[in-house]
Structure 1
């Protein structure tokens, strides 16, 4: 009897591992979206934030748990583990964010799971506003003031870098409309004669919330900003 029980558990382990893989895939997607959402908080480093790890575990747990409920509730007999089954679970993990609402509408899983996801999202957002907002706001304001002090030719050189290298490499091949939007903003800034207004528009429309922390030091160097200013905020970059 005990051997049968142990055997049943061992049979379930591969299914459990596949479910965890789906959760990990969802966590990676959620992490990418999180970074895009909070680009404004330039000093936010997720891996050093304890709350982020809790948020990440929830992103893994919820899709894995729903997968398990569907597997044990819908299938009286476990499906064979084959390439089609694995691919289906991978697609589920990739599209989980979109599927969650549908899964709940069809009563395939308890609604309180989305409450958990939303709760940790809101908690993380509250934490960032409490700990990062003031510091990030000060940085962007300081950057705007620093930009006003650079030479006109350095400003134009930096704008050319954004247009010809950074935005072209990051967006032109992936999102033509977004790239065109950046080009329009660059053209508008170049046509502005007042360097104070140029600096303000540049920071507000092309840097703030648009460029990740890991890229920003190199971008700022293209404008020939003071190394002292860059090192003050990005000592290890």
Structure 2
């Protein structure tokens, strides 16, 4: 194939480095993809965001784009996605006009810790209800905000997991056919098990067992001591 693929990885400054959890797993996945498809050209874009630039762009642009949402979670995700979709390392800027994102995977395949809690407390029916509630919340919780943030750079979002055929198929599966977020299994095994099995089948051996980590924590923009639902004091 003649077209290269840019893998965009964003990290926020902590101290004097950008050694975030997502940077580590991103590089490991990058190496795995190169071995799996050596005929492709893979570019790993390290988007490193300084504290000063984060504060500047949040005040200048991002807070207006995520409005009327104003929670700490919206602030963190909006900033992370804005810098990622800008796609500029300082030395290279992606020419891509379309960005593929994994939105919807956790809601469809049971990737959140609350899904594990629902299964433990209320069984499969409780997990079913939790998945359904998360699915109903996607439009107003994520889609409009993320579309505005990405469009600010003249790019478009593509969400493969929200494809109508994918959604119809997965939502018609029983819970136990697509996820098993049980305490009997370690993190990175039971949750989103159908996706992990598919990735393994396609040849991705290492990344199939990565522990699920939210973008705001994997990129280290968020403080896990804060409540994500509180109003952000930084907006």
Same fold (TM over 0.5): no
Bigger Cα Rg? 1
Q: TM-score, normalised by structure 1?
A: 0.28
Structure with greater strand share of residues: 2
